[in-house]
Amino acid sequence: MSGPAIRFEDVHKWYGRVHVLRGISLDVASGERVVLCGPSGSGKSTLLRCINRLETHEKGRIVVDGMALSDEPRALKAIRREVGMVFQSFNLFPHLSVLENCTLAPIRVRGLGRAEAEARAMEYLARVRIPEQAGKYPAQLSGGQQQRVAIARALCMQPKIMLFDEPTSALDPEMVREVLDVMVELAESGMTMLAVTHEMGFARQVADRVVFMDQGEIVESGPPGEIFSAPRSPRLKSFLSQILHQH
């Protein structure tokens, strides 16, 4: 595929009269790992959710995997097939077992046979290191395990792009590591990744680029080393001092 994996061209969004995205332009190359950070309310999650149209943008253009986002159902479905997403609150399907969570979409959307889907699910569950939990239900797992299942569920669709929306924010501190480890491994496998996270250690370790957003705008972006050690804008400086103060 030529061209970027994701391209934002002057994207705007309003919630009623609140202007939450103000002219975002950003390219994410295939295989690139980008971390989005910024204070809460800066629009970073909204931006992420625009990529698979969980949110609609009102102005501008978003191109994903060469396809422009629109309400046209077939194009939307094609894009969602190629974009996996991991949510802050896991959003596993509680009425389905771990294995069924992982096979539902491959069977219904990709058209895989049950046996093939299950084999694939077991492969990814092994990759996130919980194959032994396949028969359990989400409520029987810890938060960290649930989030790893959620990652496996997204990977089972074999997407080209993975989106992470604050994947560790709802976790108890001792479970953050196990989820980050899986994400690092995934990053090292060459997956195109876009993650909203406050885990600066993760950003330093795997990100090719850190994008700092505030009040609906991209304020600064660059390699993690530059962003963290030589922030230019006062907004980023104050954000970093707050973040580092916490940790």
Partner 1 sequence: MRSSLPVRIFSAAVTLALALILLDGLWHFFSWAIVHAVWSVPRGADGAPDTDLCRAAIGRGACWAVIGEKFRFILFGFYPHALQWRPAIVVALFVLLFALSLNPRFWRPALVAVWLAVLALVAVLMWGGVFGLDFVAADQWGGLPITLILATFGLALSFPLAILVALGRRASGLPMIRWLAVAYVELIRGVPLISLLFMASVMLPLFLPEGIDINKLLRAQLAFILFAGAYLAEVVRAGLQALPRGQQEAAAALGLSYWQATRLVILPQALRHVIPMLVNTFIGFFKDTSLVLIIGIFDLMTTGRTATLEPRWQGFGNEVYLLLAAIYFAFCFTMARISRLLERRLNEPHLPIEEPA
> Does residue 114 interact with partner 1 by CB under 8 A?
no
> Does residue 153 interact with partner 1 by CB under 8 A?
yes
Taking the least distance from each CB to partner 1, the nearer of 109 and 126 is 109
Assess contact for 42 and 216: CB atoms under 8 A.
Answer: yes
Radius of gyration of the chain (CA): 18
> Does residue 84 interact with partner 1 by CB under 8 A?
yes
> Does residue 85 interact with partner 1 by CB under 8 A?
yes
Strands (E) in 138-180, as ranges, are: 161-165
The one segment of 85-93, 185-193, 194-202, 230-238 that binds partner 1 by CB under 8 A: 85-93
The one segment of 28-36, 82-90, 117-125, 206-214 that binds partner 1 by CB under 8 A: 82-90
What distance in Å separates the CA atoms of residue 43 and residue 208, rounded to the nearest whole number?
21
Rounded to a whole number of angstroms, the minimum distance from the CB of residue 164 to partner 1 is 12
Show the CA angle centred on residue 196, arms to residues 75 and 37, nearest 5°.
125
Look at residues 169, 170, 138, 173 and name the one whose alpha carbon lies nearest to residue 152.
138
How many residues bind partner 1, per CB under 8 A? 33
Taking the least distance from each CB to partner 1, the nearer of 133 and 197 is 133
Assess contact for 147 and 171: CB atoms under 8 A.
Answer: yes
Taking the least distance from each CB to partner 1, the nearer of 75 and 243 is 75
Rounded to a whole number of angstroms, the minimum distance from the CB of residue 99 to partner 1 is 13
> Does residue 108 interact with partner 1 by CB under 8 A?
yes
Strands (E) in 65-153, as ranges, are: 67-68, 83-86
> Does residue 81 interact with partner 1 by CB under 8 A?
yes
Look at residues 181, 198, 197, 184 and name the one whose alpha carbon lies nearest to residue 247.
198
What distance in Å separates the CA atoms of residue 192 and residue 187, rounded to the nearest whole number?
8
> Does residue 141 interact with partner 1 by CB under 8 A?
yes
Binds partner 1 (CB under 8 A): choice among 19, 67, 137, 198? 137
Residues in CB range of 178: below 8 A, 6 or more apart: 129, 144, 148
The residues that touch partner 1, with contacts defined as CB under 8 A, are 52, 54, 73, 77, 80-81, 83-85, 87, 89, 91-95, 97, 104-105, 108-109, 133, 136-142, 145, 153-154, 157
